[in-house]
Structure 1
Amino acid sequence: MDVKSLILKKLAASNEIRVSDIIGETGFSRAYVNHFFKELRDEGKIILIGKANQARYILAKKNNKAASRSPILSAHKILWNKALSEDKVLDSIKSETGIFFNLPKNISGILDYAFTEMLNNAIEHSKSKKIEVYFKRGKDDINFKVIDWGIGIFKNIKKKKKLRSELEAIQDLIKGKQTTAPKTHTGEGIFFTSKAGDTLVIHGSDKKLIFDNLIEDIFVKNSRRIAGTRIFFTVNIKSKRNLSSVFKMYSGDSFEFSKTKVIIKLFKIGVNYISRSQARRVISGLDKFKNIILDFKGVDTVGQAFADEVFRVWQKRHPDIKIEYRNTSENVEFMIRHSFEKKGI
């Protein structure tokens, strides 16, 4: 008996069949019948829908292929980091699941960018032999995780840039245009990814760096120590964000990445004001930009030394760079104005 022909004949007469239907008609064992179903799947002639006792098969028509993927709203892959290509991983998730079905164009674009950037970072920087990725679509949002067991992002920055601590590495990272591989990377990926979604969480060693765009804030939290790096990204399906507006916000007319926003309160390490040495950490590396926005949200006061170092000393060395400041308290505003008076503004 030609079991494969029987399966196709049954499917032509009905929308779907189960393995048990063929077993009942032929009397063959489940293992034997499953062999023919697998061959037809490998040949691309039939599609499996559901799992375990809900498993059933349909003909592999174009519409059926889409229908078979639409209920699959999550993906999990364990990848070996050898000749790995982030775009091919994303393509496989799209072809195997319904996660991207009927997504607004702006959300699809954000996910394409964020996922490939974060996976590429793990591929090229982590030195991890294995990388794990998760993708999940919920009722209101879509999230993904990228996990590696490599050197760890904060530890890597600390080592390559010869910094004193991993907290300093975090401070360096949030500025943007910072990279441990300047010949092959611009340092823009994490910066723009952190602005594109609702949240981006970067967990390395015993620290979590959290970008929360819903409340427009950034946090650093202590967490359990891990090996490697864990990235978690989420965006609401109805979000109005789009990549072009994010790029434009931090770019000049030439679309060069020329503007950055530094959250000052992240540099306030257990003191009531920010010193000159801390000010130097804030402005380190910012000479790559043409426009800098210093956000003092949550900072009650700053020391005279900090204001002088940034707004007089550093600005005098870089007169072509524009420094803006926002969300200053009365005390912070006073110290900044005082530094302006000292340089005759």
Structure 2
Amino acid sequence: MEVTFTLPFSQGEDQIWDNVIKPALVPSVTSEAMQILYYGCTEILNNANDHSNGTEVSISIVVDESEVRLMIEDDGIGLFQKLQSETKDSDPVSVALNLVKGGLTTDPARHSGEGLFFSSRIFNTFLVESRYVFGQISGKWLLVPTKRTRGTKVTMRLDRNCTLPLEDFFAQYAPSTDDFMFTQTSIPVVLAQTSNALISRSQAKRLTYRLERFKKVVLDFTGVDRVGRAFVDELFRVWALEHPSTELSVLGANSEISLLIQTAQRA
């Protein structure tokens, strides 16, 4: 099924869901999958309506034996172009890292910047195509350039038999002990790794920008084979000492990286 709407919407994104999208999914998916699809769909539609500066958005839904594929595409300025312009940061790596940390928005009065963070993690595949392809496929994160010059296409894929309650997923990052505030984040460090290995202090500073707003940060080194001493020292000694209220933890580091981290933490 594919349908197109004019921007800005003449109805709320929740009404588009109720009247058009949900009927195409019932009874093909579990109630848990329906909750997740509702969340991701309405968040992306709201972003397109409020931020894209486009004239129309198209929604495509494919349901097969194992999964639901939901694609939302607008003809606006493009997510990366918008963020690079508004934040005055031309570096796509910095933009991608700030997106994946969560809380990045160009309109803080009306948006929290959390929707893209949560949506990008709860789906089996979540890809944003807008000058760059950014997101994850089965937990493997990527950032690669494309020839696309305008518009944003978001692809979300989810197991139609998913049994994960949306509330349980949120609790990983916004626990009840913190009054359900977004206080915890995780960062795929591999996104900071471009053509160069993670060696310099400037690379570490790029990674830690805005992390002080969180109580707990998980640094996921999956896919990172090598790091430099200066990078590790800046991250796990210098920054950690300057921000004692933020707890850093490590996931997916190989034995060499783990040893460098332990050495920096003991210094």
Q: Provide structure 1 residue ranges, at least 5 long, that are not aligned to the other structure.
A: 1-73
Secondary structure (helix, strand or coil) at the match of 1:174 reads: helix
Which of the numbers 228, 251, 258 marks the counterpart of 2:174? Answer: 251
Cα offsets for 1:231-280 (capped at 9, x unmatched): 11111111233311210111232221111111111111212333110111
Per-residue deviation at 1:313? 1.4
Deviates more, 1:117-126 or 1:242-251: 242-251
Which ranges in structure 2 are unaligned for 5 or more consecutive residues?
Answer: none
Q: Which amino acid aligns with 1:169?
A: V
Does the CA contact (< 8 Å) of 2:89 and 2:95 recur in 1? Answer: yes
Q: How many residues align?
A: 265
- Aligned partner of residue 203 in structure 2, secondary structure: helix
Instruction: Tell me, in whole angstroms, the C-alpha distance in 1 between the residues paired with 2:259 and 2:244.
Output: 22
- Normalising by structure 2, we get a TM-score of 0.93
Q: Is the contact made by 1:81 and 1:131 (CA closer than 8 Å) also made in structure 2?
A: no
RMSD value, Cα: 1.7
Instruction: Show the counterpart of 2:220.
Output: 295
1:240 counterpart residue number: 163
Within the candidate set 245, 263, 267, 1:338 is matched to 263
Name the CA shift for 1:98/1:164 in 2 (closer, same or farther; >3 Å): closer
Rounded to whole Å, the distance in 1 between the matches of 2:199 and 2:171 is 31
Deviation >3 Å, runs of 4+: none
Equivalent in the alignment of 1:92 = 19
What SS does the corresponding residue of 1:203 show, helix, strand or coil?
Answer: strand
Q: Is the CA contact 1:196–1:242 (under 8 Å) kept in the aligned structure 2?
A: no
Q: Which amino acid aligns with 1:248?
A: A
**Compared CA separation, residues 102 and 134, structure 1 to 2 (3 A):** closer
- Report the 3-state secondary structure (helix = DSSP H, G, I; strand = E; otherwise coil) of the residue aligned with 1:281: helix
Distance 1:338 1:108 in 2: 46
- Amino acid in structure 2 at the alignment position of 1:311: F
Q: Where in structure 2 are the equivalents of 1:109-124 lying within 5 Å?
A: 109-124=35-50
Indicate how the Cα distance of structure 1 residues 266 and 274 shifts in structure 2: closer, same or farther if over 3 A, else same.
farther
What secondary structure, in the 3-state scheme, does the structure 1 residue paired with 2:257 have?
helix
User: Structure 1-normalised TM-score?
Assistant: 0.73
Q: Which residue of 2 aligns with 1:270?
A: 195
Determine if contact 1:99/1:136 at 8 Å carries over to the other structure: no
Please say which structure displays the higher CA radius of gyration: 1
Q: 2:208 aligns with which of 259, 274, 283?
A: 283
SS in 2 for 1:219: strand
Q: 1:317 aligns with which of 219, 242, 248?
A: 242
One-letter amino acid of the structure 2 residue matched with residue 181 of structure 1 = D
1:233 match: secondary structure: strand
Alignment of 1:170-185 (within 5 A): 170-185=96-111
CA distance in structure 1 between the partners assigned to 2:10 and 2:89 by the alignment:
31
Pick closer, same or farther for the CA change 1:102–1:302 going to 2, 3 Å: closer
Spell out the pairing of 1:71-110 with structure 2 (5 A cutoff).
Answer: 74-94=1-21, 97-101=23-27, 103-110=29-36
Question: What is aligned with 1:49?
Answer: none
